[in-house]
Chain A
Amino acid sequence: MSGTITNLSRRAVLMGLGAGTFVLAGGLGPAARAEDSPKKYGGDAMPGGVKDDPRLFVAVAADGTVTILCHRAEMGQGVRTSWAMVIADEMDADWAKVRVDQAPGDEARYGNQNTDGSRSMRHHFQALRRIGAAARQMLAQAAASQWGVPVAEVTADHHSLMHAASGRRLGYGEVAAAAAALPVPAREALVFKDPAKFRYIGRADIGLVDGFDITTGRATYGIDVRRENMLYAVVARPPVHGGKLVHYEVDEALKVPGVVKVVVLNTAPLPSGFLPKGGLAVVAENTWAALKGREKLKITWDDGPNVRYDSAAYRAELEAAARAPGQVARNQGDVDTALKAAAKRVTAEYYIPHLAQAPMEPPAAVAQVTGDACEIWGSTQAPQTTRETVAKVLSIPAVKVTVHQTLVGGGFGRKSKPDYIAEAALLSRAMDGRPVKLTFTRTDDLHHGFLHTVSVERLEGGLDAKGKPVAWLHRTVAPAINATFAPGVKHEGASELGMGAVNTPWIVPNLRVENPEAESHTRIGWFRSVSNIPHAFAVQSFVAELAAAAGRDPKDFLLDLIGPGRQINPADMADGWNYNEDPVAYAYDTGRLRGVVERAAKEAGWGKPLPKGQGRGIAAHRSFASYAAAVVQVAVDAQGKLTIPRVDIAFDCGPVINPDRVRAQLEGAVIQGVSLATLGEISFKAGQVQQDNFDSYEVTRIEAAPKDIRVHLMPAAQYDAPLGGVGEPGVPPIAPALLNAIHAATGKRIRSLPIRDQLRA
């Protein structure tokens, strides 16, 4: 089995334009599609929807090789493996004969391809089963026709069809041609495998399809693509978001051997959305020459309206906003009266700065413009958005843009934005259609990102004389993602508020969530788990603070606050968004939240004594329709040095398709959570990012990462249950569990991230 991504030629074959060996892939007929319903949810509500025509995704060659097309971006979540596991299992294919190819960006053809929001399996598992079942049934029908027996007498058996009565057997490859000519069965006619007979789904020992290529250096990422006659480019961008070129001298740059040309890129007006920032591009024979040329540019910038963006001053602004009433996002009972009457009041303010995704592969892409068409080879989470953005900057139709999807060397939300790919396209056009590889250096990545927001979260709680919570007031203040795309946006959107600000299931009679204004001065974007990070950090820290004020065990207090197991329609918590999932099928299930809390606590030995200087903290959070709870154990020595000997994370995402990848995602999420809590900070001065590389934007290295991470997966009742997301929901509970553990170990409550050296004596 090989995982090399070879999309263009392979795509041609799948479309029936190639050598004709892949015969199940015939012409396209009407697909089995979702019934129209008044309001769509999940994958059906996404642009392009979900496609389940087996002829789009499965090809069987005469020699029996099954090629499965994955249309999601592989960025470390293992989707190329998991995707194929589901189809192969339902179609009863032999894994050894399965290979995976990558679809180019084409949502009209394949359905939605945005690989973000922890959606790949959540939105596609059932469709993948339909694809596999339909392929299996077509193969079975072909065998039945050949034998002249009723199809009901034919069974699929591990890459072959069997007729038990006569003992006859045909391999998948032998009937592939005939099967390809058959109509795709209607959705109602599909018969699914009994989950008890799954061979791959749910198994932890299916190796990664790309594992060998990656460990031998053969795998190709966007930054690795090489084209004949290719040039290399870097861009000097305005150091302040919204700034523009005023004056420049390029002579010295052009003298650098290897530099071919300096190209002016226009700056898009604010808000600039996905469009490039503009500036001066240096195009050269190699990246080194381009970098040296860029150093020699002399540029005067008009810094524009964001030149006074200063993180220290901005924090003070956010704090002031959080101390005054703001737009009400949720309201039940009478918080003000209840707070006044409370026996005890607790107030706390939490701060978390901007963060950069900093994927290890910085943004990079190759573009080649030919006439009114453009080919892209790139590492992107959003190939269709890329087509549309490239089309826009080149003023050509989106159908003329071909996006060849490579492996993505880490995304975490950064590569959902195709600004860097649009730059490559503009440069190829400027170079008369020569292919151009555009590379962001790490400094470019940190300076010209789409950052995680910055926020102040202010919480006020009231306890009655018995220590029961009677009032909860949460003010969340943060510049919004929408401000990157639309003018005048000063409030968090429904999706941001629905990431753990409004949708708390607490048993508190009086509860209000407010969202005061915050103006944005930089590009805000998605970062793995998005606004769940600040909201869970504040909310779950505050729960522990309330528990301390009530003199209660934080785990018991948290469970009481969650209350008994029940299904809450998220709309009843002022969350009309609910990750775009059906509010009934995907109700907020407090029983499942309790479940992960109890499991994490039990596995971690909650309550068992620890040596002096050690402590445990707990936090729980629902996000992306999954439930996660973490117990972090810390040790803080006399000098204030923090170590994290152990983390237990309990996770309920419903049915688990690929348990090993779920574990891997959670292991990574735990450490990324530790990283952002201990070290993560992007700050601005005079409108410019202050961090230039990994020395100043530190991320966790091996020696500081917890060595003992125990992942506890909650068993799902059945495979038909709705799936939750996996890639992101492990992150949010980590920071608060860590801070709660530090409090347990030292008595010190840290409310401002990152922790950095706040524990030093």
Chain B
Amino acid sequence: MPPIKLTLNGKPWSVDADPDMPLLWAVREIAGKTGSKFGCGAAQCGACTMHVDGQPVRACSTPIGSIAGSKVTTIEGIEGKVARAVQDAWVKLDVVQCGYCQSGQIMSAVALLTDNAKPTDQDIDSAMSGNLCRCSTYVRIRAAIHEAAKALEI
């Protein structure tokens, strides 16, 4: 099997793996980037959320072979105005509790705000519904998204 070629956080990445291997395991165990988390393995919790060509995907359910040539961005690699605004808002409001779900939450929130600069509560509900937080930090997640949107206006 020839290696699968992609871009990971801006750098070329050539992976020697079963093309069926989910992107999540390839990133965590082969590339060694553990910021994206395993929570369900079945696209039900959002802990593994990454951006593939700018779109949020559940990496646990994305075979690496299916995205050859794509640009993959993980929590370790997000940059730009929106990402900074989101991370700053998260820190400012002390959103996190255990924190385990939060890289996925942040990846989803960045994708939302990149698409929609002024999300309503309904927009937040639908964009963030796939991201579970068992510590239940939802009140602050919502507040932080609004906060980041406000910061981006200026």
Contacts and interface: CB of A to CB of B under 8 A. Distances in A.
Interface string A395-413: 0000000000001111110
B99 to A, nearest CB: 4
Nearest to B22: A288
Given A360-B101, A702-B129, A217 B36 contact: yes
B60 to A, nearest CB: 10
A489 interface: no
B25 A412 contact: no
B140 interface: yes
Given A210-B96, A217-B76, A221-B100, A705 B136 contact: yes
B35 A217 contact: yes
A215 B96 contact: yes
Contacts of A361: 37, 39, 98, 100
A224 interface: yes
A77 to B, nearest CB: 7
Contact of B98 (A76, A286, A702, A703): A76
B75 A675 contact: no
20 contacts: A211-B96, A214-B102, A215-B99, A216-B35, A216-B87, A217-B34, A217-B75, A226-B34, A258-B18, A286-B21, A287-B29, A358-B134, A360-B98, A360-B135, A409-B98, A441-B41, A699-B134, A701-B130, A706-B139, A709-B139
A14 interface: no
A448 B141 CA distance: 31
Contacts of B87: 215-216
Nearest to B91: A211
Interface string A77-112: 110000000000000000000000000000000000
Interface string B59-79: 000000000000000111000
Interface in A652-710: 660, 664-665, 667-672, 675, 693-695, 699-703, 705-707, 709
B18 A693 contact: no
Interface string A485-524: 0000000000000000000000000000000000000000
Contacts of A232: 29
Given A215-B87, A694-B132, A664 B37 contact: no
A693 B44 contact: yes
A415 to B, nearest CB: 10
Nearest to A287: B25
Interface of B, secondary structure class, is: loop
A288 B18 contact: yes
Interface string A13-50: 00000000000000000000000000000000000000
Nearest to A289: B18
Which one of B20, B74, B132 has the greatest number of beta carbons of chain A within 10 Å?
B132
Interface in B105-154: 106, 121, 124-126, 128-142
A439 B99 contact: no
B41 A702 contact: no
A345 interface: no
Contacts of A214: 96, 99, 102-103
A442 interface: yes
A232 B34 CA distance: 15
Nearest to A286: B29
B38 to A, nearest CB: 7
A208 B141 CA distance: 16
Contacts of A442: 39-42, 44-45
A702 B131 contact: yes
Contacts of A289: 18
A702 B128 contact: yes
Which one of A665, A672, A694 has the greatest number of beta carbons of chain B within 10 Å?
A694
Given A220-B34, A288-B25, A695-B42, A215 B91 contact: yes
A150 interface: no
A276 interface: no
A69 interface: no
A702 B142 contact: yes
B153 to A, nearest CB: 21
A210 B99 contact: yes
Interface string B16-32: 01101110010011101
A660 B93 CA distance: 10
Contacts of B34: 217, 220, 223-224, 226
Given A288-B29, A409-B100, 14 more contacts: A216-B76, A217-B74, A221-B100, A223-B37, A360-B47, A360-B98, A442-B40, A665-B97, A668-B97, A668-B136, A670-B136, A693-B42, A695-B42, A706-B139
A171 interface: no
B40 A701 contact: no
Interface string A271-302: 00000000000000011110000000000000
B132 A693 contact: no
A702 B141 contact: yes
B121 to A, nearest CB: 7
A202 interface: no
A403 B105 CA distance: 30
Contacts of A705: 136, 138-139
B37 A409 contact: yes
B134 A212 contact: no
